Amino acid sequence: MSDTTDKITKLQELGLSELEAHIYLALTSVSAVSALSLSRSLAVPRTSVYDALMRLIEKGLVEKVVKSKSTWYKASPVSVLGNFVEEQGSKLASMKEALDSLTLQLKNRAGDLKTTEVRYYEGAEGMRQMVWNCLKAKKEIVGYSVFGRVDVVGLKFYQRFVSEFAARSLADRVIASPTKRTLDYIFKDVKPGFHQLSFQNIRSLPENKLYIAGDTMIYNDTYAVSYWEGHEVVGVEIENADFVRHELSIFELLWDLASPVSL
């Protein structure tokens, strides 16, 4: 069995279709690529490639990257497969064995090729993607918010997000401005089962000390900021370890200065 065939077989053992396995493996050898390029290199119709990419995105194994208004795709680090494996209950033992072998073979090649990346999102669907992306956090998400993003992403989606947030044992700390609008959202929405936050993890600073617009999430090596007002819904993710370290240091200083929010 060739090395490539062995990797494809292990990916299929992890629950991917043959085409999904070929696409994921192809993406691990490049930083990002278009669906058209994948279609040509794999000699598979573009519609089939696109459908497989959408399934891989849903599984958290592929991410969209916007470059010069064109949509490209990249493989998530092979370590993300660990979360996927955990969801496969009945196949857990054999899937973990395949994952361990595949991790050694690929050695996070997709991550090694990565430099600073900027990803742009638009509309409610883009906002949902950004919110879901923060579930990749290793432990904690911190940031700033005016609250109310549930109005953009929808209640059904947000309830699913909150459930997944709890299942992954993540934590969230947020600094907000104590404006009437923000406090109304906090007192209405921040409750068990409906929001991932608790009052103990919310602090505030006056607007004349810190002006907050939209929502900022900082986790892993990602700085994500989104804004919604009127008909405009936009967001940007910046992936750079040094930049995130800089932003985290600022957040912690402000967190120490901020006041707790309580009922």
Q: What is the pLDDT of residue 1?
A: 47
**Backbone CA torsion sign across 147, 221, 134, 37:** positive
Identify which has the larger pLDDT, 95 or 229: 229
Identify which has the larger pLDDT, 5 or 93: 5
| 117-260: CATH class | alpha beta
Residue ranges per domain, the chain? 3-112, 117-260
Q: What is the pLDDT of residue 93?
A: 58
CATH of segment(s) 3-112: 1.10.10.10
Q: What is the pLDDT of residue 166?
A: 86
Cβ(152)–Cβ(232) below 8 Å: no
Of all residues in the chain, the percent with pLDDT exceeding 70 is 84
Q: What is the pLDDT of residue 177?
A: 86
Summarize the confidence of residues 119-140 as an average pLDDT: 91
For residues 148-166, b (16+ Cβ closer than 10 Å) or e, as one string? bbbebbeeebbeebbeebe
The radius of gyration of the chain from alpha carbons, rounded to an integer in Å, stands at: 20
Identify which has the larger pLDDT, 109 or 188: 188
Tell me the average pLDDT of the chain: 83
Which residues lie below 8 Å from residue 20, measured CB to CB, with a gap of 6+? 11, 52, 55, 56
